[in-house]
Amino acid sequence: MPRYTDRPEPHVRAEGLLEANASGGYIVSAFTEQDVFDSIELRGTLEGLAARFAAERGIPKPLDTALARCISELDGAVAEFAVSYDCDRYVTLNDQFHNLLVEASQSPMIRRSLDRILALPFAAPNAFVQSSRSQLPEAATIMATAQEQHRSILEAIRHREGRRAEALACEHSRSAWKYLRMALSDNMNELPFPGRGLIQPNAPRR
């Protein structure tokens, strides 16, 4: 059910989260599946650029240490999820990894651009991880693959392999695509995730 509001904040309108209706008010926007895939693609492109900048400019030692520690702790979170299907710790550490990656780029412009994209619904790295609580083996596989990508991204940055780091980070963003497809699949209908009602099927091609 859409939520209605009469005086939305200007930045909310600017991000496309609300649409004007005939009565002069606003309703919460709906998004197609393709819209969500596109927002994830945009995030991945910018995170890829962040990884390339980090590799080309050189990563400061404190950030290298912080990323390595985060990856080590993520190893434990991934192992924990495979047993308990509790993803809370993974979500926290995954957010931390992505924030550190952007910080390592040493680019305020990338940070600002990503902040705008992350304001879009479902664009964040963890947007669909919560749907993993379904205890599906596929979720554990996606998470384990994403963790190996974390490790490879840091390795490429350390070796100053800018293009490789960029390609790995772009590919890594597609983990969210995999979670989304799983979350929208028929066998997940009994396990709705927050905001699912805002995602509409793609319109048929003409």
Residues 97-127 have pLDDT tens digits of 999 999 999 999 999 999 998 887 678 888 7
| Residue 85 to residue 54: CA distance in whole angstroms | 33
Tell me: the pLDDT tens digits for 79-91?
Answer: 998 888 888 899 9
Say which residue, 201 or 191, is predicted with more confidence. 201
DSSP state of 3: -
Q: Tokens 């509409």 — which residue?
A: 200
Beta carbons within 8 Å of 199's beta carbon, 6+ residues apart: 30, 31, 32, 33, 36, 122, 184
| Averaged pLDDT for residues 136-141 | 80
Residue 203 has pLDDT above 60, yes or no: no
Q: Which residues contact 80 (CB under 8 A, 6 or more apart)?
A: 86, 89, 90
Residues 6+ apart with CB under 8 A from 160: 55, 56, 58
The per-residue pLDDT for 35 is 83
pLDDT at 25 over 80: no
The whole-number pLDDT of residue 197 equals 56
Residue 11 has pLDDT above 50, yes or no: no
pTM of the model: 0.77
Alpha-carbon span 196 to 18, nearest angstrom: 16
Nearest CA to 133 out of 186, 90, 87 is that of 87
CATH of domain 33-191: 1.20.120.530
pLDDT for position 133: 55
Sketch the domain layout of the chain as residue ranges: 33-191
Share of the chain above pLDDT 70, in %: 69
